[in-house]
Structure 1
Amino acid sequence: MGKKLSGKDLIKLGFPKNNSINVTLGQTNRYHKKVKKEQLLTEAKKVLQHPENYKGDGVWGKIAESLLDPVVVKRQTLKTTRAPFRIYGENEIEAQAKYQLFDALKLPISVAGALMPDAHSGYGLPIGGVLATKNAVIPYGVGVDIGCRMSLSIFEMPVSYLKGKKDQLENILMEHTKFGMQETHKVKHDHEIFERNEFKDIPLLKRLKDKAYKQLGTSGGGNHFVEFGIVDISTPEREWKLPAGHYLAVLSHSGSRGLGANIAKHYTYLATKQCPLPKHVQQLAWLDLDTHDGQEYWMAMNLAGDYAKACHDNIHYRIAKQIGTRAVVTIENHHNFAWKQRVNGEECIVHRKGATPAGKGELGIIPGSMTAPGFIVKGLGNPESLESASHGAGRVLSRRKCKETLTQSEIKKELKAKEVSLIGGGIDEAPMAYKDIQKVMANQKELVTVLGTFTPKIVRMDR
């Protein structure tokens, strides 16, 4: 008998001569490399005898599924007709983004869709794409940065603090925010999220826990930021106990860091294996929520979303501590996520890839650019947009186009004109890279009502 578990060993044990053997070898090779063969055979025999006892187990659950109710892999084809959809601000959206939505609407699982006015092309679903599906989740419909979100803390402090303490606030952002792949906080903070069962039960997440711990309270590269600015509240909510007026505030934009990226990569791979699609739409491969992998992704996605929130909470806690106060109002929302939501009377999975939830009365923050205001909004619950709104202004220039056509002197001139101080930030995040946020907001008056604005003044991004 060899040292490594083989198909012959499993057949001797009584495994049927079908895909359950491949699944068992795949799972044990991936997650139990260091476990002795005899131990693996003992456990495999128990699973074979009573697979129902192992449903949902991180390693053996998928093997149990292959014995009880095997996932049927069949080549999928697109329908000839699209599911119902609505496009907001159509004249401002590039054709490629529309075509990507149209392809997604032809998936056999699609129920309805929408395109937000900040939309532009991406991978799988376009950025600004919203898609409702029946009992299936598309990892690339959620996006790589799972749970990417906005968080706004409003402080009961006068805006004069911004000018009077400008150097001090710049130093706080320099020293107490961390960006990109390498930077982490010297003093790490613990968080209750690391006690979650998902980190113990799902082998992939078990491996990622240390990385997630190190990256807590940090922000990604690209368009992620932490900034001080001025909030102007025109229509305060009653529970805020804050009158209309101008206040100091902190706005952050980031997601689930390496944790979310690794989850997206792993489950996208599984989806493409289980759901073969025509090549041009392969990134729209889905996981059935009745399968082991579909359930596991759903749990991992929700953990990543909660971890993203924990990161923002930590960022805001560190900054508030430095300025010696607490936020009186916090407004926050995901924009790369999937939710269970009723659409036309039935429960669906609504993917919002670069789109803000805008259910009736739901609060959110839609940023502009580093020199343009963001908007504090309340959702109107419009069913035609699947209760969604834009997640920002949206790009008008690609990163490559920015590098080819813009100069640092142009950016400095724009920053100076708007009295914005920038720490870090590449040319690909220039204010000119983004659409006119005023036009974007005008194109979604049916989706949200505006309660106030946030104007950036000191912006920190990755270098």
Structure 2
Amino acid sequence: MGTFSGDAFASHEPARLPANIHHYFSSKSWIEGAALDQLEKMSRLPGVKAVAAFPDLHPGKYGATGVALLSERLHPLLVGNDIGCGMSLFELDLPVRKLKLDKAANRLRRMDSVKTDDASQRLGDIDLPNDLFSHALGTIGGGNHFCELQAVESLLGDVEGAALEKQSSYLLVHSGSRGLGADVFSSIYAHIPDLVHGLDAVTDAAVSWLEKHDQCVTWASLNRRMIAEKAASLLNADLRLVADVPHNLVRRTSDGFVHYKGAAAVTPGEIAPIAGSRATLSYVVKATDKVVGSFGGISHGAGRKYDRATMHGRVGKTRSERDGLLRNSWGGVAICDDRDLVIEEASSAYKDAGQVVTDLQAEGLIDSLAAMRPLVTYKKAVGEDGVTQHTGKPDHRRKEGHKKGGHKDDRY
């Protein structure tokens, strides 16, 4: 995980007064001091009017992650390279009682072998160029992205609007715009290296970036849908969309531009998933009218507690320990053939999603609907499509994923 020291936002101009920061978390939430330092620096960026910080707050490469930030200017650095990254929840017409986890895991292991021959047509159907990174559609990527088969552990509230049922199985997909978003970010970075000051929204650069940004958000939503369709086909099931919520984007409002940096962008009454880890519960919630005050932002997951490099000294020191990380207490299975990723994405790397939900509910931002247990989590099998990502300056490229101690913009 990248650790932001403040250098990226260093300025020779006189220090600006900080914008108002609202903390939507309690003292029970584990918030790293470095994240609070980043948050304060973000509040001083040009054009920033106000900031909302959520219980999953943690350090990121270009500022703290778990934030909704209102600004008069556009700040592409805050959105970064995975524009439109989000989570989509689908219900399967596959009863939990018919699931055999090991059999389901064996089928889902073949995710990367399922072809998406209609990618060009699907892009055209949503008014995107039919050659817009069509080769990458339906691919999850590395890092903290996943496709997870889930079941309802417990119903926590009125689920009539979401139609959640204990007998049904579900797919939660976390992915984004893959190499498309990386190219958009790299392009703006190449032309305007000093992005720390943001962009005046009326400039050609801002208009162009926003147009490409919107394409990325639309592309990423389709990508999650196609990932879910691949998984459903392997399980011989049909699916129904429950929620599709991005958490890495910009939205225009009458007051300016809201930048969601690892914060789920919701409207009152909207259903949203809040992800745990592959060995802990995730949650389905409904946004209340009070999210208007948080700029339509809530947490989208538990939030990272330990960075990737640190995790290599904490867990998985032996093969048996690493094998143990691929199972959970419900008998669930994780599919991940990348040994480093198994360690870096261990459950102990993340905060308590239950506490995140508790804090958001105490602030009146959400109503809890259901807790979801992980059954099969597909992270990355050997040979899974590697789409080049840009994680910094345009001339620094590597395949999406992680080397030990390397950076990947963490979003939950």
When normalised by structure 1's length, the TM-score is: 0.71
Among candidates 342, 359, 378, match of residue 443 of structure 1: 359
Aligned to 2:107: 172
C-alpha separation in 2, matches of 1:258 and 1:291:
25
**Deviation at 1:370?**
0.2
Aligned to 1:433: 349
Does the CA-based 8 Å contact 1:233-1:246 persist in structure 2? Answer: no
Tell me whether 1:316 sits opposite 2:224 in the alignment: no
Does the CA-based 8 Å contact 1:271-1:286 persist in structure 2? Answer: no
Aligned to 2:173: 252
The letter of the residue matching 2:17 is: T
- The alpha-carbon distance between structure 1 residues 433 and 175, as it changes in their structure 2 partners (threshold 3 A), is same
Does the CA-based 8 Å contact 1:256-1:304 persist in structure 2? Answer: yes
**Deviation at 1:124?**
1.8
Tell me whether 1:161 sits opposite 2:98 in the alignment: yes
**Deviation at 1:214?**
0.6
Number of equivalences: 358
C-alpha separation in 2, matches of 1:444 and 1:153:
23
Tell me whether 1:291 sits opposite 2:203 in the alignment: yes
Does the CA-based 8 Å contact 1:359-1:382 persist in structure 2? Answer: yes
C-alpha separation in 2, matches of 1:429 and 1:306:
27
Once the two structures are superposed, residues 231-266 of structure 1 have per-residue CA deviations (whole angstroms, 9 ceiling, x without a partner) of 3544455455x4653321111111100001111122
Q: Note the 1:118-267 alignment, pairs <5 A.
A: 118-134=56-72, 136-163=73-100, 166-177=101-112, 185=115, 187=117, 189-194=119-124, 199=129, 209=131, 212-231=133-152, 232-235=154-157, 237-240=159-162, 242=163, 244-267=165-188
Q: Note the 1:28-107 alignment, pairs <5 A.
A: 77=13, 79-89=15-25, 91=27, 92-107=30-45
Does the CA-based 8 Å contact 1:341-1:350 persist in structure 2? Answer: yes
- The alpha-carbon distance between structure 1 residues 359 and 196, as it changes in their structure 2 partners (threshold 3 A), is closer
Does the CA-based 8 Å contact 2:102-2:333 persist in structure 1? Answer: no
Among candidates 21, 35, 46, match of residue 108 of structure 1: 46
- The alpha-carbon distance between structure 1 residues 234 and 191, as it changes in their structure 2 partners (threshold 3 A), is farther
C-alpha separation in 1, matches of 2:127 and 2:352:
44
C-alpha separation in 1, matches of 2:253 and 2:156:
31
Bigger helix share: 1
Aligned to 1:394: 303
Tell me whether 1:349 sits opposite 2:257 in the alignment: yes
**Deviation at 1:371?**
0.8
C-alpha separation in 2, matches of 1:186 and 1:300:
23
C-alpha separation in 2, matches of 1:243 and 1:88:
27
Once the two structures are superposed, residues 319-371 of structure 1 have per-residue CA deviations (whole angstroms, 9 ceiling, x without a partner) of 223333322442110011111124xxxx2100111111233112211100001
**2:237 aligned counterpart, secondary structure:** coil
Tell me whether 1:382 sits opposite 2:291 in the alignment: yes
**2:182 aligned counterpart, secondary structure:** helix
**1:190 aligned counterpart, secondary structure:** helix
Unaligned runs of 5+ in 1: 1-74, 179-183, 201-208, 276-283
Tell me whether 1:365 sits opposite 2:242 in the alignment: no
- The alpha-carbon distance between structure 1 residues 396 and 411, as it changes in their structure 2 partners (threshold 3 A), is farther
Percentage of matched positions with identical amino acids: 27
Q: Provide the alpha-carbon RMSD of the alignment.
A: 2.5
Does the CA-based 8 Å contact 2:272-2:285 persist in structure 1? Answer: yes
Unaligned runs of 5+ in 2: 1-10, 382-412
C-alpha separation in 2, matches of 1:153 and 1:186:
19
Tell me whether 1:325 sits opposite 2:237 in the alignment: yes
**1:157 aligned counterpart, secondary structure:** strand
The letter of the residue matching 2:214 is: N
**2:239 aligned counterpart, secondary structure:** coil
Among candidates 295, 302, 305, match of residue 217 of structure 2: 305
Does the CA-based 8 Å contact 1:334-1:356 persist in structure 2? Answer: yes
The letter of the residue matching 1:334 is: P
C-alpha separation in 1, matches of 2:283 and 2:76:
29
**Deviation at 1:441?**
1.5
